[in-house]
A and B are shown apart, each in its own frame.
Chain A
Amino acid sequence: MRFFILLLFPAVVFGQDAPAGSPERGHQAFLKYQCYSCHGTVGQGGERGAGPRLLPNLFPWVAFSMQTRTPRQDMPAYRKDHLGDQDLADIYAYLRSVKPSPAVANIPQLNFEGRR
């Protein structure tokens, strides 16, 4: 519930900036703590219900950290004992640093129209 209230009041969410973090260390932490096994190495999302995409439109920091600490549904919880605050901030910094993917229109392999 707390989670949804935060989402409903963007002022609360966006008012708080993410703590400083290192994208490089965050990349390592993203791999070490294996966020990537469900969300993919660049947060692209996983198949067959593994985990949703994290990018584009990364969750605002508060929602992001709340989801990681106390997930709203099936995701395993990463509590402070096993994922420090700095690691989480680094992971967030890493995700923010990921280059956007090309647009569908620029990927010929994804043009399925009219093909048999």
Chain B
Amino acid sequence: MSEEGLDRRTFLKTAAAIGTTMAAASTVSAETAKKPSSGLPGERIIGRPGSDFMVDVIKATGIEYIASNPASSFRSLHESIVNYGGNRKPEFLTCMHEESSVAMAHGYAKAAGKPMGVLAHGSVGLQHAAMAVYNAWCDRVPVMLFAGNFMDAAHRRPGVEWYHCVQDPAGILRDYIKWDDQPASLQHFAESVMRAYKFATTPPMEPVVIIADGMLQEHPVDGDAELSIPKLTLSAPPQGESGALKEAAKMMASAENLVIIADRAARSQEGVRRMVELAEALNAPVVDLGSRMNFPTTHYLCRSEDGRALVREADVVLMLEVADPWGQLNTISDPQHEYRRIAKPDVKLIHVTLADNLMKSNYQDAQRFCPCDLSISGDAEATLPALTEAVKKEIGGSRKSALAGRTDKLRSQHREMKERTRAAAANGWNAVPVTTARLSAELWNAIKGDKWCLADSRNLGWSARLWPATEHYNFLGHSGAAGVGQIAPAAVGAALANRDKGILTAVIQPDGDLMYAPGVLWTAAHHKIPILMLMHNNRAYHQEVMHLQKMAGLHNRRMDTARIGTTIENPHIDYALLARAQGVWAEGPITDPAAIAPALQRAVAVVKRGEPALVDVVTQGR
């Protein structure tokens, strides 16, 4: 009570004196709510807190979900979302870690094609959120991150609230967000949210941060009539300059061995279609690096596994939003750090990218500088139509038929690639622990009858290599920065977006990744997010086992100690139990490869009921 400035004795005295007025005070109109009362604190009502207006603003952006771990710095906004906003659009998603909130928003944005909101404590919450924000940054994915903070020190409650306040909340993230603001008024909030949303969704798309000041949330709206929510109009993505496209078309049309390498090129199915159109116009093989689903794996020009060999022979390479262009033409060996050139010394490189528009210094996501013969600043998907048009103009009759003459060979090369992959997948088919290829193939067979999405298509590359995929929603790429712990929550976020679209979401879930924040399983159960989680349980941080072996080899030391500090065994974690403890249907651990298919069948039935399911399979390391 003393915290409220009124001790028990004073309260009782006052209550006796004004007893009769109490009943009347219990019904307060919105009108009186605005006027500060001179009576008891309990009499005071704020009928229209600033946070209500904030909800109006968030609703105006079309954000449908807010992933959050609850915290006092945004308690007013939380309450406004739930009561004033009716907990619909946005709906509050209870998360068990801020890293999970942001990673869920990351996965959601890739599946939904629009950002999700996240709400976090400005201090400790953003500290937890940081790695997930970095993943989204490196993956060029928009996230609308809101954070609470009490800027006015005179209003802060002593103790914990001070620990949880910060002068510059977004400072900890500023190296890997596109923009942030700490609005000082509600009008300022409205304008900055619209600006943030616009920035976040204009390619290169990135996370943004808006601070919702605590007092701004909790104080009554002052002059509602003067407040306005600006109209939100998203920017059309930038297209490459036409002269440069013409030059690129010339170079490609006259190339003997052209290779197209795509990484974050397609943003939609239309992008995939445009990719096919360009590749077919040039009859050129496409290497999909897979940060997005860029090219149908069934198309005869898909040669994603032959990348190195194709680059070695290439005289011209077209890159479309490739995160690491240098790494496609060169490599550094591991663990010797020796430089090796892959491409011919005089290969001509054309790159359509927005990488040059991102200007941050501290984190090294720019990758190694790669000299380029023609660098075109533009969004790949938006640039494809004009580029293809220019290519078609360049390719005359005789050139066209010469290119067409390559089709048979290209078809058989594609077929050979697929056969090689299948043969490799058959290797060790009945092995125990289960091979990663079998894990992938069994999953495909369980979901192939549905519209499907594999939420992380990089971690276990078999799927991108084996599965026939034609739709942009099939593969969602990877975490961006390989900050481990992203796969599980991002998959749950993607599954939420796909739930609303009738697409079945699956994820091949590494054990180490899940254990960073396994509470996301509870979030999936609580919010009835249907996801099929198939454990790739190699009982290790397996990547690190191999690193230790490489170091031991280099140092000429024993190799049998490489499992110290790198494995997750003794005791083994029971992932089915972990899932069931949180309300998720689960089976496992499965060691017999023949038991996977029936378990997956049961799991798919659960997912089709609208619930999450986990199947734990003990697997080979890689």
Chain A interface residues (CB < 8 Å from chain B): 32-34, 36-38, 40-48, 50-51, 53, 55-56, 71, 73-79, 81-83, 101-104, 107, 109-110, 112, 115-116
User: A40–B622 contact, CB under 8 A?
Assistant: yes
A78 close to B553 (CB less than 8 A): yes
Q: Residue-by-residue, is B412-442 near A (CB-CB < 8 Å gives 1, otherwise 0)? A: 0000001100111111111111011110011
Give complex CA distance A32, B562 in Å: 10
Inside 8 A of A73's CB, which chain B residues have their CB? 333
**B residues within 8 Å of A by Cβ?**
333-336, 418-419, 422-433, 435-438, 441-442, 444-445, 448, 460-462, 466-468, 470, 542, 545-546, 549-550, 552-554, 556-560, 562-563, 597, 620-622
Considering the chains assembled together, what is the distance between the CA atoms of A44 and B554 in angstroms?
Answer: 25
| Cβ 8 A contact of A44, one of B334, B335, B427, B550 | B427
Q: Is the CB of A109 within 8 A of B553?
A: no
Closest 7 interchain pairs by CB? Answer: A76-B553, A44-B428, A46-B622, A44-B427, A50-B622, A47-B622, A109-B441
The answer on a CB contact under 8 Å between B621 and A104 is no
Q: Which residue in chain A gives the minimum CB-CB distance to B460?
A: A47
Q: State A42–B428 Cα separation when bound (angstroms).
A: 6
Docked complex Cα distance between A79 and B558 (Å): 9
Q: How far is the CB of A38 from chain B (nearest CB, A)?
A: 6
User: Quick one: given A34-B559, A81-B556, A101-B427, are A46 and B468 in contact (CB under 8 Å)?
Assistant: no
Most A CB atoms within 10 A — which of B466, B545, B553, B597? B553
Bound together, the chains give a CA A103 to CA B460 distance in angstroms of 23
B442 surroundings in chain A (CB, below 8 A): 109
Shortest distance from the beta carbon of B428 to any chain A beta carbon, whole Å: 3
Residues in chain B near residue A115, CB distance under 8 A: 448, 468
Most buried by B among A41, A56, A81: A41
Least Cβ–Cβ distance between A105 and chain B, in angstroms: 9
A47's contact among B419, B436, B545, by CB below 8 Å, is which? Answer: B436
| A112 with B468: CB separation less than 8 A | yes
Residues of B within 8 A of A109 (CB): 438, 441-442, 444-445, 597
Give the one of B438, B560, B622 with max A CB within 10 A: B622
Smallest CB–CB gap between A23 and chain B, Å? 16
- CB distance B620 to A41 under 8 Å? yes
> In the assembled complex, which residues on chain A have CB atoms less than 8 Å from the CB atom of B427?
40, 42, 44-45, 53, 55-56, 101
Taking the closest CB of chain B, its distance from the CB of A85, in whole angstroms, is 16
Bound-state Cα–Cα, A54 to B571, Å: 31
Q: In the complex, A45→B421 CA distance in Å?
A: 12
Chain A residues with CB under 8 A of B560: 32-34
Residues of B within 8 A of A37 (CB): 542, 545-546, 549, 562, 621-622
Kindly list chain B residues whose C-beta atoms are within 8 Å of the C-beta of A53. 424, 427
Chain B, Cβ-Cβ closest to A56: B427
- Could you jot down 16 A-B contacts, CB within 8 Å? A34-B563, A37-B542, A37-B546, A38-B621, A40-B621, A43-B428, A46-B620, A47-B460, A74-B550, A78-B559, A102-B426, A104-B419, A104-B426, A110-B422, A112-B466, A116-B468
In whole angstroms, what is the CA distance A116 to B297 when docked? 11
Which residue of chain A lies nearest to B566 when distances are taken between CB atoms in the complex?
A: A37
Q: Is there an interface contact between A76 and B549, defined as CB atoms closer than 8 Å? A: yes
Other-chain contact of A34, B424, B444, B549, B557 (Cβ < 8 Å): B549
**Distance, CA A40 to CA B557, complexed state (A):** 22
Of all chain B residues, which has the CB nearest A50? Answer: B622
What residues on A are CB-neighbors of B441 within 8 Å?
107, 109-110
Determine the distance from Cα of A44 to Cα of B437 in the docked complex, in whole angstroms: 10
Nearest A residue to B466, CB-CB? A112
Q: Are B546 and A47 in contact (CB under 8 A)?
A: no
Chain B neighbourhood of A83, CB < 8 A: 559
Residue contact B422 to A34, C-beta cutoff 8 Å: no
Contact A104 B462 (CB under 8 A): no
A82 contacts B559, C-beta separation under 8 Å: yes
Cα–Cα, bound, A31→B581 (Å): 34
Interface contact B622-A38, CB-CB below 8 Å: yes
Other-chain contact of B335, A36, A48, A74 (Cβ < 8 Å): A74
- CB-defined contacts of A34 to chain B, threshold 8 Å: 545, 549, 559-560, 562-563
**B550:A76 contact, CB within 8 angstroms:** yes
- Decide: B552 and A36 in contact? CB cutoff 8 A: no
What chain B residues lie within 8 Å of A104 (beta carbons)? 419, 422-423, 425-426
* Distance in angstroms between the alpha carbons of A75 and B422 in the assembled complex: 25
A6 and B332 alpha carbons, distance in the complex (Å): 27
Q: Which residues of B contact A107 (CB under 8 A)?
A: 426, 429, 441
A76 near B431: Cβ-Cβ < 8 Å: no
Q: Please determine whether A74 and B333 come into contact, CB atoms closer than 8 angstroms.
A: yes
Contact B431 A50 (CB under 8 A): no
- B297 and chain A: residue at smallest CB distance: A112
Contact among B437, B438, B468, B621 for A50, CB-based, below 8 A: B621
